[in-house]
Structure 1
């Protein structure tokens, strides 16, 4: 269907007498637009976000989407001051969920009925393997046996396996990633089918784990239609489990909870009513099976209405259309247009159903968001957001059906003013996807320590929110560098809080204040330019660089604290400090402080250590000086249990100082004691003293960066030690070999089968055949003889023989 000529712009620019505070990249216009909320006083922003489809654990691609949306939400609320009503749905019924829930239910029943791997189980699994290969790996023989699978797949899919496109001429795409997934799935099933032992409980579990992904679709093809449509628990036990896990993942990533959560299964009646209105407005029609389809042609005949406004170039993409309709939707011959999409689907056997005027059915994928957003937020939204892959057909279909529902008069109805779409997260050029099974789940990544909530969020902040992100080593390094840079800045400011600079001249205050004001303006302009967080982070880094290069003795603490509080506020707005309030006056983010119960003792022992080192280095550490240092800090007789380890470090250090004084120890022993306090006693408690030239040691927690530096230092020392041990061993072996060789007399050394006659010195004169040894050969042998003579004579001297 050709795109009709537009009689007016498809997007109406919001109008306001108040100048816009920011511009946002709007997918509707594919450009930046002034952000003007519907609320004339700009107090409330109505925001609807497409939430998760809960049938599996969320992966890092989901983290990219939801963390980035959370960043934008926090900036709008925390920086620009908007009052946001944030609504997010949970898709707990759609074709994927129906399939997965049904398949998991059938597999669970099959495993319960077959706790042992009988011949019947093996036959069923072989048939499942055959069906999977025929459907998904067409280059293989349709009757390929499990034992031949690896060989044949290596031949037929060699290009894909080697990382090329299927035809071997280009780079791999999602198509090749999907083939790799199918090869892995079928290969796993082939492996367990060929495994020799299948008798123990562990064998049974291993078998089902390997065969699961071929059994699921096969069992569904046999028994899926037998599922009771009225028993929604078959599906909700799956969705409730993964919704809870999704929420846990989001909170672990410091993503704010939505203000309102809507679920499709709780909106059956409202969705029916919403569809009825579309039909009443003559934009929907019924087919004989009780399904309702959206009439795109009728919709576009009304002036002002346009379909596929977000991605008009995809409106005739049949693959995307089919994906939008779902795997369980059968092609209908009653559709008026090929692109018409289901608003309401007649439920087939084995699918959940709700009552409707058209018979038992279930919502189409797209209608859920329109109905739920309309119910909570009304007929018009300020913002609608989601991943970039939702543009078409999902969001384009939402737009059309919502505008068809809320108005059918000439001029149309604008449902959403700003569409915000987050870019993909990529791995080796392919987007991270559940369907491709090329993902790392959020909980796996956090549990392994690959990422923290902060480090992952920094990575996303370093990229444009609507651009794709591919995590590379360089990007990881950039994220780690920023986190370390800000952390070290906070360490320094916290140190100034403990040791105020009372002698500051203030000469640098004016210069630093100007730089600070310029940084605030630059960051504001960046955030107002469609949430340009990469520039914002660079601005913070640049300001810290200026602070680091400034003469601290000429900078007043007030200026330092003002800068630190501002940086703290911004990183908290970005969500980099857990649930901390951006408006709190405390400085820094979590992880920069030592335990509260440690502070009285650690700061005391650090102060004493500083003085001891100073006097020891200068050679003035007398008994009187030492007594004066120790007398300043006396640990209380009793402490809270949590404080005892730190109190013991202080008292032990003082006792050791006294012991060294009593035995008149040299300065180097006092300095060694100070090093042990830093490197062992406090380090083991998670605290480090960072020695600085011409200044006191800075107290800081032991963090990952310090541990990595120590590990690297110890690894280098270990390598050097091992290299020396190897050299010493080789030298010892060489000496032992020479010593053994020295026992042999030079007069006997050549008396071998190689020669037949020798002179009085033992030098060979004739070879084994009785021929004279050539002079050139004799010359060389004489040199060897002389070396051996010296060795042997040294040996004889050593054992006391003449």
Structure 2
């Protein structure tokens, strides 16, 4: 067995009594297998790419980013030479349907630039058809006016988050009902809108009614689309392929070495189907379709169908989903499980010439033909989302092995299947069909995630396992990123402020931790790309480094550790497009702008010295001038440098101004705080003060902003609490002042009593009964207090007059 060719890693691999061998979890065997490429000089890899009819969502990001992580580890850590091929599905049932619907809606809108009676009538019929098909509990003659009331009653359990029947938890069925309720509700709102005259009204109407109009217009006019006019569909696919590529670039996903598109492989696909048919593993039907014959395939010794998920081979819903929404059940199929290799095109569907008549590829055949055309009869790795196991990848396997196998059968087309686990957010799986997804570009533009933070979350979860994004996982990802970020900042600061030459006494213990961490990382990655374990090993190494006290470590050891961690995070794709061989420490985001450095570092140096002498109480005018004379003020600087140069210049002028006023040390320290907390902070730079060390210059990041926001929130709460106390005290005093104006002799003269003595003390209650002695005592105490209060008031009023 040949040994895989690998490039020599730039660092020494950790020694071990039992060196790890790379093993990968293989969906074909449902176990971990030693990774041995077919050709030791090149690993071949085919990845199922996107079906481009809509924007990619975070569930897609999970698949493609995780796929990218494995690819990078295999290439950049283990040193394999890869040929990575990814397809673009630019024709299938979903694309045909979506492209046709969008085309017809555009025509409808062009024909009806205003909301006429015809538009309202068509939309009303579309609304009725949508409800009849998707919300059967509602009446078929339901009016938009009654939709809200009727749907709230008939689907109350679903709206309340329960199963339709009212028992058990909700499922995808209930999620779809909710989606249909939203769609119908939106259309009802559009139909009930009082005004439909302005341009914005028209746009709002169609936005609300679009999802009921699309299927309805397609049912009326879909079959009229010219099958030879592929632009109806390519207009859609080209748009979303471009947007997909933009999303992948934004997520730092490496571009494929080869991209294949279904529409560019028409001849190869037809030839592929014809070869399977000639091998007796496929048959044509009278309508011009071709089906794979599972029974004939399995009769050949060594051939097996549904090798990935044999337990699903009889699942009719999965089979139907694999055949596509536009596929009609043929009574000429030899078995319900047989699947389409080539579909005869019906009216309104694009077509290509073939020996069986005008038609189009089945969903599964495209990958088999394109992968085989580029990579040949045997491929090392095939990857995709775990939902593709059956029927898509199982059908790919069968038809490809039916194409390549000899009469004896048993051809092995793929050696390793890698399937990425699902993504769910707080328990909900994202799905285009359920319209419950967040697109990648939405998530990035809102700042929910960035390329690094999302990738860290995926790295913290096993690639083959499902990942549920919870608040705890997001916090764990943010904490890991901050931990590594702060370590990089310390290492970079050492480059500017080196340690004393005597440092290094504590190297031995940290070196031991370093070697152990490298071994842990290596063994984790060799154990089927166990990135969670590798991430923990990096965190532990930083913890051991921080716990060492650092002052006893040599700078050289710190730099070695920092460069190692830098390389690993680059291997994981956490540092943009930075070259792996770049010797710099850290990742993007830990450095201030190049145009700021000259002036910010000068301001930081001056500030450090000013603070030191102000605290010591020996800041003389001469000393101050000698400190600030080392750096020039802003004069003739490039435009990009001006804001930073002006901060330095202003700081120096303000220092001179304080010196002229003979200001106190407290004033100098306050100016230093202003430079840190306002002037530089507003430019995105922070000076982190440290004991017995120069201030660390660092960019303002999310962690610092969060800390400042929390600090300001606490200060605001204290301020508001104080203001409340002062307000309540003022109100109490004002109330007391008003009360003091009342004479003690008049205070009890109310309807509650009917008789009083000469001092105004009550003697009879309102019914004429004597006031009880116990109550009289209590009233006398109140009377005494009021007497003193009133007499003090009178004395004060007399004194001020």
Shorter-chain TM-score tier: over 0.9
Residue from 229, 248, 259 that aligns with 1:250 = 248
> What residue in structure 1 maps to residue 350 of structure 2?
352
Partner of 2:35: 35
Instruction: Describe how 1:191-206 pairs up with structure 2 within 5 A.
Output: 191-206=189-204
In the other structure, the counterpart of 2:8 is none
8 Å CA contact 1:291–1:344 kept in 2: the answer is yes
Aligned to 2:418: 420
In the other structure, the counterpart of 1:186 is 184
Partner residue, 1:761 = 759
**Distance in structure 2 (CA, Å) of the matches to 1:652 and 1:663:** 17
1:469 CA displacement:
0.5
2: CA distance between counterparts of 1:427 and 1:143? Answer: 38
Corresponding residue for residue 225 of structure 1? 223
Report SS of the residue matched to 1:400.
helix
Contact 1:21-1:80 within 8 A present in 2 as well: no
- With over 3 angstroms needed to count, the CA separation of the structure-2 counterparts of 1:98 and 1:752, relative to structure 1, is same
- Superposed CA deviations along residues 421-451 of structure 1, whole A, max 9, x for unmatched, are 0000013433211011110000000000000
CA distance in 2, matches of 1:241, 1:778: 90
Partner of 1:545: 543
| Aligned 1:737-748 pairs, distance under 5 A | 737-748=735-746
Q: Is residue 147–residue 185 contact of structure 2 (8 Å, CA) maintained in 1?
A: yes
Q: Deviations over 1:354-396 (max 9, x none)?
A: 0111111000000000111111111111111100000000001
C-alpha contact 2:20 2:526 (8 A) present in aligned 1: no
SS in structure 2 opposite 1:270? helix
* Residue 109 of structure 1, CA deviation: 1.3
* 392 and 654 in structure 1: CA distance in 2 versus 1, 3 angstrom threshold: same
d(CA) in 2 for partners of 1:538 and 1:582? Answer: 22
Residues 1:292 and 2:299 aligned together:
no
- List per-residue Cα deviations over 1:714-733 (Å, max 9, x = no partner): 12211221221122112111
* 1:377-392 paired onto structure 2 within 5 Å: 377-392=375-390
Q: Are the equivalent residues in 2 in contact too, given 1:174–1:431 (CA < 8 A)?
A: no
Partner Cα distance (1:445, 1:636) in 2: 41
Contact 1:173/1:430, CA 8 A, preserved across alignment: no
Structure 2 unpaired stretches of 5+: 5-18
SS state of the match for residue 699, structure 1? strand
Query: Which residue in the other structure is 2:87 paired with?
Result: 89
Residue 160 (structure 1) aligned with residue 158 (structure 2): yes
CA contact (8 A) 1:47 1:381 kept: yes
C-alpha distance in structure 1 between counterparts of 2:81 and 2:70, whole Å = 13
Q: CA deviation at 1:17?
A: 5.2
CA pair 380-614 structure 1, distance change in 2 beyond 3 A: same
Return the alpha-carbon distance in structure 2 between the equivalents of residues 668 and 240 of structure 1: 65
2:317 partner SS: helix
CA deviation after TM superposition for structure 1 residue 152, in Å: 2.6
Distance in 2, Cα, partners of 1:20 & 1:643:
51
Report the alpha carbon displacement of residue 21 of structure 1 after superposing the two structures with TM: 4.2
Q: Choose 718-727 or 278-287, whichever is displaced more.
A: 718-727
Query: 1:636/1:709 Cα in 2 relative to 1: closer, same or farther (>3 Å)?
Result: closer
List, as ranges, runs of 4+ consecutive aligned residues in structure 1 with deviation greater than 6 Å: none
The aligned counterpart of 1:695 is 693
In the aligned structure 2, how far is the partner of 1:455 from the partner of 1:410?
Answer: 51
Whether the aligned pair in 1 keeps the contact of 2:507 and 2:553 (CA below 8 Å) is: yes
* Inter-CA distance 20–787: structure 2 relative to 1 (3 Å threshold): closer
Aligned partners of 2:718, 2:86: CA distance in 1, in Å? 58
Partner residue in 1 for 2:14? none
**For 2:764 and 2:36, how far apart are their aligned partners in 1?**
109
Q: Cα offset for 1:769?
A: 4.7
SS in 2 for 1:205: helix
How do 1:127-142 residues align onto structure 2 when only pairs under 5 Å count? 127-142=125-140
Structural RMSD (CA): 1.7
SS of the aligned residue for 1:552 comes to: coil
d(CA) in 1 for partners of 2:600, 2:329: 73
Q: Do the aligned residues in 2 keep the contact of 1:766 with 1:772 (CA within 8 Å)?
A: yes
Q: CA deviation at 1:771?
A: 4.3
Please state how far the C-alpha of 1:556 moved relative to its aligned partner: 0.9
Query: Contact 1:691–1:698 (CA<8 Å) still a contact in 2?
Result: yes
Q: 1:118 to 1:17 in 2, by over 3 A?
A: closer
Distance 2:754 2:473 in 1: 76
Residue in structure 2 matched with residue 525 of structure 1 by the alignment: 523
Post-superposition CA distance 1:607-627 (Å, at most 9, x none): 121122122212222334323
Where do 5+ consecutive residues of structure 1 fail to align?
A: 1-14
Could you tell me how far apart the structure 2 residues matched to 1:748 and 1:67 are?
83
Instruction: Report how many residues are paired.
Output: 786
Residue 272 of structure 1 corresponds to which residue in structure 2?
270
- In structure 2, the residue matched to 1:108 is 106
2:2 counterpart (6, 12, 16): 16
The corresponding residue for 2:12 is none
How many Å apart are 1:259 and its aligned residue? 0.8
Q: CA contact under 8 A between 2:634 and 2:649: conserved in structure 1?
A: no
Matched, 1:26 2:12: no
Question: Which residue number in structure 2 is paired with residue 61 of structure 1?
Answer: 59
1:683 is the counterpart of 2:669: no
**CA distance, structure 1, for counterparts of residue 333 and residue 314 of structure 2:** 15
Aligned to 2:566: 568
Partner residue, 1:340: 338
The one of 436, 439, 444 equivalent to 1:438 is: 436
User: Quick one: structure 1 residues 17 and 799, their matched pair in 2 at CA, closer, same or farther if it must change by over 3 Å?
Assistant: closer
Provide the rounded CA distance (Å) in 1 between the counterparts of 2:259 and 2:655: 63
In structure 2, how many angstroms separate the alpha carbons of the residues matched to 1:531 and 1:628?
Answer: 58
Deviations 1:206-232 (A, max 9, x none): 121111111111111111101111111
Find the residue that maps to 1:98 and give its secondary structure: helix
2:9 maps to what in 1?
none
TM (norm. structure 1) is: 0.96
Asked if the contact 1:173–1:429 (Cα under 8 Å) also holds between the matched residues in 2, the reply is no
Any idea what the Cα deviations from partners look like across 1:268-313, whole Å, max 9, x if unmatched?
1111111111111111111000000011111111111111101011
The separation in 2 between residues aligned to 1:575 and 1:666, in whole angstroms, is 52
Matched position secondary structure for 1:554: coil
Q: How does 1:635-654 map to 2 (within 5 A)?
A: 635=633, 637-654=635-652
Structure 2: distance between partners of 1:430 and 1:327: 24
The change in CA–CA distance for 1:769 and 1:515 in structure 2 (over 3 A counts) is: closer
Q: Partner residue of 2:370?
A: 372
- Once structures 1 and 2 are overlaid, which stretch shifts more, 785-794 or 445-454? 785-794
Q: In the alignment, which residue of structure 2 is the partner of 1:625? A: 623
SS at match of 2:197: coil
Q: Partners of 1:206 and 1:656 in 2: how far apart?
A: 57
Q: Is the 8 A contact 2:134 2:180 kept in 1?
A: yes
Selected match of 1:241 from 239, 243, 248? 239
Q: 1:457 to 1:17 in 2, by over 3 A?
A: closer
Deviation at 1:516, TM superposition (A): 1.1
CA offset digits 1:15-40 (Å, max 9, x no partner): 5356994101111000011111110x
Cα 1:429–1:666 shift into 2, 3 Å? closer
Which residue is 2:399 aligned to? 401
Correspondence for 2:602: 604
Checking the alignment, whether the CA contact within 8 Å between 2:634 and 2:648 is kept in structure 1 is no
Contact 2:20–2:523 at 8 Å: present in 1 too?
no
User: Could you say if the C-alpha distance between residues 546 and 27 of structure 1 is closer, same or farther in structure 2, counting changes exceeding 3 Å?
Assistant: same
> What displacement does 1:399 show?
0.5
Residues 17 and 750 (structure 1), Cα distance of their counterparts in 2 relative to 1, 3 Å cut: closer
Match status 1:119 vs 2:105: no
User: Separation in 2 of the partners of 1:171 and 1:591?
Assistant: 45
Moved more, 756-765 or 268-277: 756-765
Separation of aligned partners in 2, 1:737 and 1:118: 67
Q: Is the 8 A contact 1:291 1:361 kept in 2?
A: yes
Report deviation, 1:54: 0.5
Deviation at 1:770, TM superposition (A): 4.4
